[in-house]
Structure 1
Amino acid sequence: MRSQIAVAVMIAALVVAANARAAETRCGWIENPTPANWWLEDADNTWTIMTQGDDAGEPEGMELIPDISEHDYIKTNGNYGYACGCMSVETDGKERITKILSFRQLALAKCRADKTLRFPG
């Protein structure tokens, strides 16, 4: 019985470790130009978070992104625009964010100063 418990604990630890390794920290421009359209542009890629009418839908954890217009933000289209931020995410390894684990909005100056980032727009 003890050996079964030990094996179960080891398996659980491996699952937790595998999930922890799957998370990536991505920092850059958070773009929300129109309703239900969200991207993260970092030094490596333009990552699709969600697009209106896309069958993939909203990724798990989307509710972790607050109203970005309440902090350092640039309005480009009514209530829409872009901000600077960091996210802990899981991706498909290509172009899509599949899960959001955390979000932190940063000052616009942080992204503007990062020479590896292309300015949105």
Structure 2
Amino acid sequence: MRMPALAAVLVSMMPALAAAAPERRCGWLQNPTPANWWLEDRDGRWVLSVQGGPPVRGMDGVPDMTTRGWVATNGSYGYGCACFTLETEAASRRVLRVIAAEPLPLQRCRADRALPAPR
């Protein structure tokens, strides 16, 4: 392969290489309506699922998040506090895959001044 062609292949692979190593992110897990899920941490909103669209890979393995505190705001829909281990594209805050998830007591997020208030 000639050098210019090799360079073109490497440049085309850069978005895939930009995915960071898995990271643990903790904050408000919000599920206001069916199939709409996101995690809001000190860096912003990380979308996990949008109604009508495909969920992020790994969402099917997320445990019941209502076991350690859940605030119902719309029937059974609402918010809680959680930590997720995610593969992301940090620059765009795009979630590529959920590796693990754990519900936390509400007090943990309430005590974290870096978190925005849940909506």
Could you state the TM-score of these two structures normalised by the residue count of structure 2? Answer: 0.78
Kindly report which structure 2 residues correspond to 1:1-121, keeping only aligned pairs within 5 A, or say none. Answer: 22-54=21-53, 57-93=54-90, 94-121=92-119
**C-alpha separation in 1, matches of 2:61 and 2:27:** 16
Secondary structure of 1:110's partner? helix
Secondary structure of 1:69's partner? coil
Could you state the TM-score of these two structures normalised by the residue count of structure 1? Answer: 0.76
- AA partner of residue 61 (structure 2): L
Secondary structure of 1:25's partner? strand
Per the TM alignment, residue 69 of structure 1 is displaced from its structure 2 partner at its CA by 2.5
Task: Please list the CA deviations of residues 78-103 of structure 1 after superposition, one character each: whole Å capped at 9, or x if unmatched.
Answer: 11011101110011221321100001
Structure 2: gaps of 5 or more residues: 1-16
- AA partner of residue 100 (structure 2): S
Contact in 1 for aligned 2:69/2:106 (Cα 8 Å): yes
**C-alpha separation in 1, matches of 2:61 and 2:116:** 25
Using the aligned pairs only, state the percent identity.
44
Secondary structure of 1:72's partner? coil
- AA partner of residue 75 (structure 1): A
Per the TM alignment, residue 77 of structure 1 is displaced from its structure 2 partner at its CA by 0.4
Structure with the higher helix share, 1 or 2: 1
After superposition, the CA RMSD in angstroms is 1.5
- AA partner of residue 37 (structure 2): W
